Amino acid sequence: MIKQTAKLEPQEVKVMNKAKCPDCDAELDVPVDTEKGEILSCPGCGLELEVKQVNGGCVDLQELTIEGEDWGE
């Protein structure tokens, strides 16, 4: 068990990038230290989104597609 020492500050300043869900256009807060390939989930539709590109304050997200699933024919 990890015990977190919660420091509750009334105005915690967090630097966040903004990204948009490609599916429902909800705005996501993306931590600035997010790296390409990370998976975020959309608060709007619950979709899993992969970070495709981080370019300055601009984050590109793409719907996560699960590969390796063989459906057969």
Residues in contact with Zn ion by CB under 5 A are 21, 23-24, 26, 42, 44-45, 47
What is the smallest separation between the CB atom of 31 and Zn ion, expressed in angstroms? 18
What are residue 50's phi and psi, to 5 degrees?
-100, 140
| Minimum CB distance to Zn ion, residue 44 (Å) | 4
Per-residue CA distances from 9 to 3, 14, 30, 31, 50 (Å): 18, 12, 20, 18, 31
Closer CB to Zn ion, 26 or 58, in the complex: 26
Looking at beta carbons only, is 5 or 65 nearer to Zn ion? 65
How far is the C-alpha of 53 from the C-alpha of 60, rounded, in Å? 5
CB of 47 to Zn ion, least distance (A): 5
Nearest residue (CB) to Zn ion, 24 versus 32? 24
Structure tokens at 39: 């998976």
